[in-house]
Amino acid sequence: MFGDIDIKTEIVNGTCPTCTCPTLLVSITRDHYRCVTCGTDLKQHVNGKISYIPHISDPKKVTFEAPKNLE
């Protein structure tokens, strides 16, 4: 049906920055992962180390709030 398509999925352990749970992250594409706990899409950036930050599809909907446990 799709011809010769080579699909490779990677599953890694990590801590989701959105739900803060230790979880599995499943690769959607080469540099995008999805948290299996909360479903957040994450983008992988490599700048000397690998860190996962949430992928933002609409920057106008971003809000910045301090964590409640720091008060």
pLDDT 10s digits, 41-70: 888 877 755 566 666 677 677 666 665 655
Nearest to 32 by CA among 15, 23, 44, 20: 44
Average model confidence (pLDDT) for the chain? 76
Label residue 18 exposed, middle or buried (CB < 10 Å: 0-12, 13-18, 19+): middle
69 versus 9: the higher-pLDDT residue is 9
Tell me if the pTM is above 0.85. Answer: no
Token output for 40: 């957040």
Q: Predicted confidence band at 31 (pLDDT cuts at 50, 70, 90)?
A: confident
pLDDT above 60: residue 38? yes
Q: What is the pLDDT of residue 5?
A: 73
**Cα distance between residue 50 and residue 68, in whole Å:** 27
